[in-house]
Every structure is written in structure tokens, then in C-alpha cells.
Amino acid sequence: MLRILLIDDTAKKVGRLKAALVQAGFEVIEESGLTIDLPARVETVHPDVVLIDTESPGRDVMEQVVLVSRDRPRPIVMFTDEHDPGVMRQAIQAGVSAYIVEGIQATRLQPILDVAMARFESDQALKAQLQARDQQLVERKRIELAKGLLMKMKDCNEEQAYTLMRRQAMSKQQKLIQVAEQIIAMSDLLG
Amino acid sequence: MPSANPLAWVHGSDAPEKPLLELGFMALTDCAPLVVAATQGFAQTYGLSLNLRRQSSWASLRDKLLNGQLDAAHSLYGLIYALQLGIDASGATDMAVLMGLNQNGQAINLSPALLRHGVTSGEALRRFVHQSRTKLTFAQTFPTGTHAMWLYYWLASHGIHPLHDVHSVVVPPAQMLAHLQAGRIDGFCVGEPWSAGAVEQAQGFTLATSQSIWPDHPEKVLGCTRAFVEQHPNTARALVMAVLAASRFIEQSCENRRNTAQLLSGKAYLDAPLTHIEPRLLGHYQDGLGNQWQDPHALHVHDDGRANLPYLSDGMWFMTQFRRWGLLRDDPDYLGVARAVQQRALYRDAATAIGVPCADTQMRSSQLIDGRHWDGSDPGAYARSFSLHALAEMPAALTRP
């Protein structure tokens, strides 16, 4: 069952939406407290989806939730009773996965949330691929740096330096990058 | 070691289409090339990051290869061909063998109870099986896997029909020992470190190594779907380069092999004692009967590329055994299927790029334990030529020539 954190901090009555969600079989946790607690609530509640009103006090709440959930991101779905494309575009840039228009029938909620989750997951996969590319470059540079330091320290060639580093890593059940970082740290220490 | 200009592969038009790969493996010694490639900086050089994903069963590894949760995996040769031919329940899917991961290094063990009955040879087992009133039960690891094929071949070569004279069951490697101790199985065929581990714990003995059945036999491969190779040709080539470079590194020295054993024993990989992994990885065998030897055909993960080359005859052999044991009711197009599955051109590109010797032969010639030769020629006749078999539709008159 999907667990939904429903953020209710506007004057608008969320009664109908909440009822519709419950009726559709979702676990709904309503949050009507101060928005300042929101990051902590997202942490403790571990929602599958965060549902918030487009009119929620300023865009700051959105920004905050997106920032907070950066390490453990969750799809954010907005509910609204307006169809302003500008607001939507802004929200999508901020990481919102889908919209729910107020007054929607309970039976239509599941497919919308499914789409939101699927889109969110594919966004995450894409992000992971991009991060991997960056990380490879960083790791390769760090390993190269450590290799160079080791070649100087041990007066050995490139291949011998790689082999020394790999043997050290494997015998300690570590990754090569960990040993590279240790060599760089040691070299910093010894000046 | 790092080739002349590996960056050319990363930045040019040959850049991997997908830089982050999910790689499946089972906790077996022969997953070594994947673990070393992923953790020891062999993949970044070719623009890849490899996420290792340990699997709890071959069935789940297969399902994840098919649904895309895994991009490629440490696979039983037979598993890939069974998928290609649609032998198991999931239906036929075009599959690819990117490279061989190893030869040799599996074994058949028997229980302490059989040892007490003096069953310490193939001949003694044959007599015991034919005289005993209760059927013995032997375990292997997957219905269409290599361990099933080694067990069947070995039993049949000693006059024991693996499907009639004994029970054959599937047990996950990590549970073999518990089932043996509980008396639910009398023996098993499994990959290391599980055979060495049983001997080490004085739970039975190694009756036969897989290399005694077929010296330098094909075993695990780097497998994926054909769709993956077709959609990501540069990624697939870079992956073969990284894994091939790691294989070469492992066998570059005895010390590298020892360090590989240390790495593998880690919690994230095999999570097994070093004493179960290292000796047989170095070729030091003891069988639990007091015999010790240095095995010239112990686990090879590279052997100057001979263990990695995807020979057509290796793939075809598994199809002949599927046919022999009734898993295939008709002859497949042995050569055609092997040509489509074995990614020889891609392997050649990768091997050449990193300076690994790559012979031009499609077939290799071997002699197996029963004295028979296999060189890839006339596979249909070869599949039909065994006196013990389960060729379902074979006319009775032809079964005993």
C-alpha cells in the first residue's frame, strides 16, 4: 500500500481529497503542522509520495522538501484547483512528478500516482547514470594521482604501481579507490 | 595492464552508451573476474562503473537479466542456452555470451555415509547404486546448468543413468552441506568454494573434479540478453575489456591469486573462510581421502585468453547434452544458434584492443572422461551417440547400437 504524506497547510479544505485517497486504498498521513517541521516529518514518516497544495505558503516549502529529500528522494505530487501552466512548469523544474487536480474521482488517483512513481523512478535512473559518469572521472583522476605519488615514493613504473595498489586493496577487501585515497592522505601528511 | 590510450574509448564515438551497469553474480569462486573488475579500477578506465549485485539463486539472476534489473551477469553456460532455446518456463529469449569467465573448478562430492560404505570410486558407486534397494539422491544447482551436465556426464560414464538409477534434485550451493548433513542428499555437484568447504569441515569427500570429466571445460560466462548488446554495443565491448583485463591481472602472479582469494572471502562477495577459497584457487587440492595434488587443470579465469574465448563448440556442447537428456525434444540448429549467441566479433575487438591473444578458431577439440572426442563436428550425431541417454522420441531399436 502506498503511504502518502498529505501536507495540509492552506485554508483550502483538503477534506474531499483525503477522503478520496483513503477510499482508493492509500495510507494517508495528514500533516497540518508548521512547515518548519516538514523536513523532519518526511524523514520519520518515510512516505512513498508527498502530496502538497500548489498554494502552499510560497514556493519555499517545495524547495525545502526537494532539498531535504535529496539524499533519499521521493516523488512529489501536487494537487491544485488551477491550471496555470506557468506554475506547473515551475513545479516540474523543482522536481514535482505529477499533478492531481482537486475534485478528482478516487478511482482515477491510482493510475495518476502510478505514473508519477514511474516517472520519478526513471528520472532517478537517469540521474544515477549522469552521476556515475562524473564519479568515474573523479575516481580515475584520484587513482591516477595516487599512482603517480606511489611511482615517486617507490621509484617504480606505472604497471608496478597499479599492481601494488591493487594487491593492497584486495588483501584488505577494499576498492582500489579507497587505497588511492589512503595514499593521497598519507602523502599529504608526509608533505 | 592499462592499454596504450584507454581514454580514446571513453571520449570518442566509442564511448559507452550506458556508463553505469548492474552486474549479477552468485557467491562462487569463479565470479572472481567480475568482482576484481568492479572493485579494482578496471572499469573506470573504459568509462564504466560496475555495481555488483549478489543473487540468491540462478532463477532470480535469470529473471533479473530478462526484466532488465541486471544488465549482465556471471552465468552458467547452460542457463544462457536454455533461455535461448526456451527450455525453461520463461519462454525463448535471444541471449548473448560476451566472453567465458572461467574453465574448470567444480566438483562432485559424496557423503560421509557413502565413505563409510567404502564408496570412494566411480566403480564402487556403480556397484552400490545397482545393488542398493534405496535410490541415492544427488544434488546439482540448476536443471539446465553446468553442474547438472557434469553430474549426468560423470554418472553416465560410470554406467549409472542419472535420471533412472538415482534421484537428481536441485539445491542452492549454500544449502548443499546442510542437506548432506541431514542425510537428504548423498552427494552433489557444485562450484567452489562449496566442495572444498565440505571437505574442510570433514563432511564427505571429493570424488571427482569437473576437470577430470573434461580438462579445461567451459563453465561460467558473462551473459546478457541479445537486446542489451544490440542497444549498447560500446558498453558491451568496454565491459568485456574491463573483465578481460581483470582476468589477466588475477593470473599474472601467484600473489595476485592469493589477494583475489582474500578479496572474495569478504562479506560483500563470497562471505566464506579463506581456507575454503584459496587452496583450490591456487590449484592445491585435497579430496578428504588423504590424497593431495597440484591440479594442472584447476580454475582458470584467463589462461592467456583461452579461458575467455567464446568458442562455438563450447556453446554447442551444452545443446548436445540438453538433447541427450531429453531437455530438447528435437535437434536445434546447433551451429546457427551458437553463432548467434557467442559474441565472437565483439570479443575479438575487445581482446585485440587490450592485447589479449585471440585465436581465429571457432571450434576446439577435447577428449572427455569416457574417451570420447568433441570438436563441434556433427553435433546431432554426437548427441545421439551415447549409450545412456533420455532421447525421448528415439526408436527403441536405435537406443542400444
pLDDT in tens, A161-187: 999 999 999 999 999 999 999 999 999
Contact B237, B181 (CB under 8 A): no
Domains and their CATH numbers in chain B: 7-103+217-251+300-379 (3.40.190.10), 106-216 (3.40.190.10)
The alpha-carbon gap from B347 to the nearest alpha carbon of chain A, in Å, equals: 24
- The reported pTM is 0.81
Contact B307, B300 (CB under 8 A): yes
Q: What is the pLDDT of residue A59?
A: 44
CATH of domain A132-190: 1.10.10.10
Nearest to A136 among B47, B266, B267 (CB): B47
Q: What is the mean pLDDT of the segment spanning A89-115?
A: 62
Least confident of A93-102, A113-122, B273-282, B303-312: A93-102
Alpha-carbon distance of B113 to B117, in angstroms, equals 7
Cell of B179: 542437506
Look at strands B187-191 and B106-110 and give their pairing: antiparallel
Q: What is the pLDDT of residue A48?
A: 78
Look at strands B20-25 and B49-54 and give their pairing: parallel
Considering Cα of B319, then B321, then B323, then B327, what sign does the dihedral take? negative
Residue ranges of the domains in chain A? 3-104, 132-190
Sole residue written with cell 543413468: B161
Q: What is the pLDDT of residue B392?
A: 72
> Element (H or E) spanning B100, and its range?
strand B95-100
Is the minimum CB–CB distance between A136 and chain B shorter than 8 Å? yes
Nearest to B150 by CA among B68, B214, B80: B214
Is the minimum CB–CB distance between A158 and chain B shorter than 8 Å? yes
pLDDT, greater one: A69 or A29: A29
Q: What is the mean pLDDT of the segment spanning A72-96?
A: 61
What percentage of chain A reaches a pLDDT higher than 90?
26
Beta-bridge partner residues of A53: A79
Nearest to B19 among A129, A171, A172 (CB): A129
Residue A159 backbone class (left: φ over 0; alpha: ψ -120 to 50; beta: rest): alpha
The alpha-carbon gap from B242 to the nearest alpha carbon of chain A, in Å, equals: 14
CATH of domain A3-104: 3.40.50.2300
Q: Check B256 against A163: CB less than 8 A apart.
A: yes
Nearest to A173 among B44, B252, B263 (CB): B263
Q: Tens of pLDDT along chain B (401 residues)?
A: 344 444 444 455 688 999 999 999 999 999 999 999 999 999 998 999 999 999 988 988 998 999 899 999 999 999 999 999 999 766 799 999 999 999 999 999 999 999 999 999 999 999 999 999 899 999 999 999 999 999 999 999 999 999 999 999 998 888 899 999 999 999 999 999 999 999 999 999 999 999 999 999 999 999 999 999 999 999 999 999 999 999 999 999 999 999 999 999 999 999 999 999 999 999 999 999 999 999 999 999 999 999 999 999 999 999 999 999 999 999 999 999 999 999 999 999 999 999 999 999 999 999 999 999 999 999 999 999 999 999 975 444 444 33
The alpha-carbon gap from B18 to the nearest alpha carbon of chain A, in Å, equals: 7
Alpha-carbon distance of B195 to B5, in angstroms, equals 42
Confidence tier at A90 by pLDDT (50, 70, 90): low
The alpha-carbon gap from B266 to the nearest alpha carbon of chain A, in Å, equals: 6
Alpha-carbon distance of B77 to B30, in angstroms, equals 13
B chain contacts of residue A173, beta-carbon cutoff 8 Å: 262-263, 265-268
- Best of B3, B7, B20, B260 to mutate (most A CBs within 10 Å, chain A): B20
Confidence tier at A73 by pLDDT (50, 70, 90): low
